[in-house]
Amino acid sequence: MIKVAFYDTKEYDKPSFERYGALFDMQFRFVESKLNEDTAALAEGCDAVCVFVNDDVNAAVIDKLYRYGVKLIALRSAGYNNVDIRAAFGKIHVVHVPAYSPYAVAEHAAALLLTSVRRIHKAYNRTREFNFSLNGLTGFDLHGKTAGVIGTGKIGRIFVDICRGFGMKVIAYDLYPSDNGIDYVPLETLFAESDVISLHCPLTDGTKHMIDDAAIGKMKKGVVIINTSRGALIDAEALLGGIKSRKVGAACLDVYEEEADIFFEDRSGHIMDDELLSRLISMPNVIVTSHQAFLTEDALNNIAETTVKNILSYYSNDGMCDNELCYRCGNIERCRNDRKQRCF
């Protein structure tokens, strides 16, 4: 039986993973704590660990897991910026879920956009108090507006289709543009021409704080910024400044750079220590959801199925490790198209 330490467990995680684990003789040790240097010892005696976006899988954690005999780190997410892939090379294999339900994330981005521009959240709160006034609820049509999509992987392309369905003009930026009928433009052009900007790219050294003071300065007055990818793509201080100066018309955030100790938890009975997040939430043109874009039954089922298959592939005899993240060639994800064996 393959034993897996499952970190940062939430109640909605268990049903699908327990179901697939039972099918393939896999035992999950569910741990509520996040993975870090202090909790790595909880994986002792396990063959693999399963981690999520806010687990801290740094070099020191990887060394501890390696000493405990852990052979595989299985991310139940697409992003892997919280894992030191370089430190893991030669010690522990790393796999992820490249596509669990791109529709879930793209649709959530669209839901945030519609909620914001049509003031649906404000109308809901009013009518709950029997206030049926329409004052202050004027929005704008999406039809005819320009959507700038940064990152055209599976999620980005689905968001492009949604925007086209609204009758929007779509332009995009991607480091690796493909021949998919999308109008690619330089990033500066996208900033200057877009009424709506939606981020669908991974967090890397090159994309961290790609939305900063300089970028916001190039944008249209009243631009709507949507982020359902990774919080650190946006410099939150710069975003707040853009909102206060009226340059940014609205912000729709499902992620936040310092979310690790805040999101996924009930903080309603506590004073919020993060003053920046408190100030953003207090703004009337900011909508924050707590990293829930992935949270559909379809996505949870796909995440569990793919993660379990990733783990099983490591223990198979064909030499391949499905969805492995490889540091060796420097092209962490894309080398899998040509590789016919494990990364090491």
Contact 314, 71 (CB under 8 A): yes
**What is the C-alpha separation between 52 and 72, in angstroms, rounded?**
14
Sign of CA dihedral 248, 253, 257, 259: positive
Tokens encoding 73: 């780190």
Which residues have a catalytic role annotated? 230, 259, 291
**What is the C-alpha separation between 224 and 11, in angstroms, rounded?**
34
Report the helix count and the strand count for the chain, using DSSP H and E.
11, 12
Buried b (16+ CB within 10 A) or exposed e, 133-169: eeeeeeeeebeebbbbbbbbbbbbbbbbebbeebebb
CA distances from 187 to 174, 191, 218, 260, 282 (A): 9, 6, 10, 29, 30
As beta bridge partners, residue 57 has: 83
CB-based burial label for 179 (10 Å; 0-12, 13-18, 19+): exposed
As beta bridge partners, residue 146 has: 169
Sign of CA dihedral 30, 39, 92, 201: positive
Who's near 25: CB < 8 A, 6+ residues apart?
A: 1, 2
Tell me how crowded residue 10 is: count the other CB atoms within 10 A of its CB. Answer: 12
Q: Which of 297, 304, 274 is nearest to 52 (CA)?
A: 304
Who's near 258: CB < 8 A, 6+ residues apart?
A: 231, 236, 274, 276, 277
